[in-house]
Structure 1
Amino acid sequence: MANLPPINSIVKVIKTVAEQDPRLGQTGTVIQYSVHGMVCVHFPDMPPGEGIFFNAHHLEIIES
Structure 2
Amino acid sequence: MANLPPINSVIKIIQTVVEKDPKLGQTVTVIQYSAHSMVCVHFPNMPSSQGIFFNSHHLQIIKS
Q: TM-score, normalised by structure 1?
A: 0.95
Is 1:39 the counterpart of 2:39? The answer is yes
Q: Which amino acid aligns with 2:22?
A: P
Two-structure CA RMSD over aligned residues (Å): 0.7
Task: Give the match for residue 23 of structure 2.
Answer: 23
The answer for unaligned runs of 5 or more in structure 1 is: none
- Residue 2 of structure 1 and its aligned partner are, at CA, apart by 2.8
Structure 1 runs (4+) greater than 3 angstroms displaced = none
Q: TM-score, normalised by structure 2?
A: 0.95
Is 1:58 the counterpart of 2:58? The answer is yes
